[in-house]
Amino acid sequence: MDNQKEAFISLPIAGFVVAAIYVASNIFANILSVKMLYLPFPFPFQEVDAGTIIFPVSFIVRDMLHKNAGRKIASVVVIAMVIISIAMVGLFQLAVALPPSPQWHASGMQEAFALIIGQSSRIALASITALLISGLFNTFVFSRIIRTNPEKKDILASMISNLLSIILDTILFALIAFGGILPWATMISIIMVNIVLKSIIALVGAPLVRLIKVQVDPKLL
């Protein structure tokens, strides 16, 4: 009885924690991606958006949630993140449209705010599209691998699903977020650096999935 109660309690606690980290990492990445970073490496590894610093975390914690709560819950959280991102874009645009105070406007802050938030909105829209497609694809691949042996193939499932999803997500995101704004050389650099850095972080972080125990019927994974 105690073991059943413990399992029942651990599911929402672990699930809520990793789901919260998943949502937060996506929001942080959307905002940080406004800034472009320069890396002291030869082309095409010179430029990358700052969101790359935190975004790979979302892949790892999504896998942790999937393993803990099952495929259905993981998919629901991905869709919920899409809805949250849409709401964020709406709030950003509302904040820009609302009349600024005279001092704020006179200082030039309104123009700067509109420029940054406007770019954030486009990045968020790009993230919504890439997140929905790559997130559900990630869930599908992870599910197909981990079901065969949940406690032994969890790390392998995380590695393979994340590597494939990172490539898909990065290409979609870069084309939608920066297409027509940045030169193609910069776009190629962003895509290449994102794929390399995200893949490294995903591979290094994949063993963290082992820390989460399966709390649902393996058929639901």
Asked if 48 and 170 touch (Cβ cutoff 8 Å), the reply is: no
- pTM here? 0.78
Note whether residue 65 is domain-resident: yes
Note whether residue 22 is domain-resident: no
Note whether residue 14 is domain-resident: no
Note whether residue 168 is domain-resident: yes
The shares of helix, strand and coil residues in the chain, as percent rounded to the nearest 5, are: 80, 5, 20
pLDDT digits (tens, 9 = 90+) for 11-39: 457 778 888 898 899 888 878 877 888 87
Tell me the C-alpha distance between 176 and 122, whole Å: 8
Note whether residue 83 is domain-resident: yes
Which residue type does 56 have?
P
Tell me the C-alpha distance between 188 and 29, whole Å: 19
pLDDT digits (tens, 9 = 90+) for 60-101: 888 888 888 888 888 888 899 889 888 888 888 898 888 888
Note whether residue 174 is domain-resident: yes
Backbone φ, ψ for residue 192 (5° rounding): -65, -50
Domain of residue 89 covers 39-220
Q: Where are the alpha helices (DSSP H) in 70-153?
A: 71-97, 102-106, 109-146
pLDDT band of 131, cuts 50, 70, 90: confident
Note whether residue 44 is domain-resident: yes
Candidates 220, 213, 219; CA nearest to 68 is: 213
CA distances to 93, 165, 171 from 48, rounded to whole Å, are 25, 18, 13
Note whether residue 1 is domain-resident: no
Domain count, the chain: 1
Asked if 214 and 67 touch (Cβ cutoff 8 Å), the reply is: yes
